[in-house]
Amino acid sequence: MIMNNIFHLTFALAAAALMSSPVAVTGLHLEPRLRGAVLVAVSDEDDYDNGYQMGQQQATYFWTNKFNSDCNRISSYDTMIGNYIRDNYNYNNYGQQQSNQWYKLKGATEGMQAQQKVYDNQCMSNDDYVDVKDCSAIGHNIASSIAHEYAKNNPSQCGSHFFSLPPPPAYGKFGNNEECITIANDDCIGNMDDKINTYCSSQYTNYNVLSRLKTECYSQVQSAIGQPAIGGMN
């Protein structure tokens, strides 16, 4: 009889302890889930998912309403997405102790980037698309590079007081490489006279040298874009 009473008392105490334990409380950030290598509370996971959806929707809105789904403007779209994330979704401004905002903005960043990649891939698979802005920039920068190198190696004709050449910007997407090479090569040739005037002399009139420098455009354009145009170019 005594043993039976002890058993019932022990059971009652154990049940009371279990019911009073914080682990039994739900809805208060206490139930963990595993996302990859990070242990995330349920509410934090919801914050991340809500942010991810928000970022995707914002990226879609920009692409369809501000850029009219125009692949010829994909570089400008990518720039806008990068700036928007920097200005609005910088989750590094918050510590993980401020978990709600940290997870929401991290989700928004990754959702926006994922949707951006969808549109980038769509444009890159479109053979009719060519990134005119970046292709033209390649031509301008290569003309600068060729003229700068000539001036540096010919101080007797160009003087020794030319300014250094800044590194070219990172190039984005070219789309149809054959068409891109044509655009870049044309702009390199078309800008060579001005670039020689900049790096060498405004009075430079050695047309034989200018003609030779212009022939260097194609191979350097081809190398920068990474794929030769069919049939080459003279």
CB 183 within 8 A of CB 135: yes
Rounded-to-integer distance, Cα 25 and Cα 31, Å: 9
Q: Which amino acid is located at 10 in the chain?
A: T
Coarse DSSP helix, strand, coil percentages of the chain, rounded to the nearest 5 percent: 70, 5, 25
pLDDT value, residue 52: 93
% of the chain with per-residue pLDDT over 70: 68
Res. 205 pLDDT band, cuts 50 70 90: low
Among 78-92, 149-163, 214-228, the range with the most confident prediction by mean pLDDT is: 78-92
47 vs 6, more confident = 47
Res. 157 pLDDT band, cuts 50 70 90: confident
Per-residue pLDDT for 161 more than 60? Answer: no
pLDDT value, residue 73: 82
Res. 198 pLDDT band, cuts 50 70 90: confident
Q: Which of 88-97, 130-139, 190-199 has the lowest mean pLDDT?
A: 88-97
DSSP per-residue letters across 29-61: S-SEEEETTEEEEHHHHHHHHHHHHHHHHHHHH
Residue labelled with tokens 């242990």? 39
Rounded-to-integer distance, Cα 213 and Cα 142, Å: 11
C-alpha dist (Å) from residue 115 to 70, 74, 171, 219, 224: 15, 13, 21, 35, 28
Per-residue pLDDT for 141 more than 70? Answer: yes
Q: Residue 183 belongs to what H/E stretch?
A: helix 177-199
- How much is the average pLDDT of 202-223? 86
Per-residue pLDDT tens over the stretch 168-194: 776 767 778 888 899 999 999 999 999
Q: What is the average pLDDT score of the chain?
A: 76
CB 74 within 8 A of CB 120: yes
pLDDT value, residue 229: 37
120 vs 170, more confident = 120
Per-residue pLDDT tens over the stretch 21-45: 443 333 333 333 344 444 445 566 7
What is the DSSP secondary structure assignment for residue 67, as one 8-state letter?
A: S
Q: Measured at the alpha carbon of residue 211, what is the angle toward residues 185 and 172, in degrees to the nearest 5?
A: 20
Rounded-to-integer distance, Cα 204 and Cα 48, Å: 61
Find the distance separating the first CA and the last CA of the chain, reported in whole Å: 108
pLDDT value, residue 102: 87
Residue labelled with tokens 């510590």? 95
Per-residue pLDDT tens over the stretch 48-67: 899 999 999 999 999 999 99
pLDDT value, residue 81: 93
CB 103 within 8 A of CB 40: yes
pLDDT value, residue 96: 64
